[in-house]
Amino acid sequence: MNTKLIKKGDLAVIAVIVAAALIFAFFNYRNAENPVAVITVDGVTVETVDLASVKEKITIKPQTAFNVEIAAENGEIWFEHSDCEDRLCVATGKLKNGGDTAVCLPAKTVITIMGSDVDAVVY
């Protein structure tokens, strides 16, 4: 009885799987970018901050109906102060991962971290 351990069809399937894995790894490596914070007021982008390049503390004061101060330092960004009544935006804390978002509804201000380091988020 003449049986082969691996046949030509098996080699083709293995080659397709390896090629798909290499393509997937290549695109994931290319999309691994530094997180960028996008600050919008009333739906309009007013500032973008490359968090990887911020080493010393900076303060951003967007023009809103309320006095809002946004701070960034060491790869993190957060609402540092707001004159709104509940200050939930300040309580949100520091954002640093892709997909993190903080919102000050009365000031219509949103901070969103853009980046590809998140594949799933569960709350």
pLDDT per position as a tens digit, 4-38? 777 777 787 888 788 788 776 665 554 446 789 99
pLDDT score recorded for residue 27: 58
Cβ proximity of 59 and 97 under 8 Å: no
pLDDT score recorded for residue 68: 94
pLDDT score recorded for residue 38: 94
- CB-hemisphere CA count at 13 Å for 113? 23
pLDDT digit string, tens, across residues 34-81: 789 999 999 899 999 999 888 899 999 999 989 999 999 998 999 999
pLDDT score recorded for residue 107: 92
The DSSP code sequence of 9-26 is HHHHHHHHHHHHHHHHHH
| Superfamily designation of domain 36-114 | N-utilization substance G protein NusG, insert domain (2.60.320.10)
Cβ proximity of 116 and 31 under 8 Å: yes
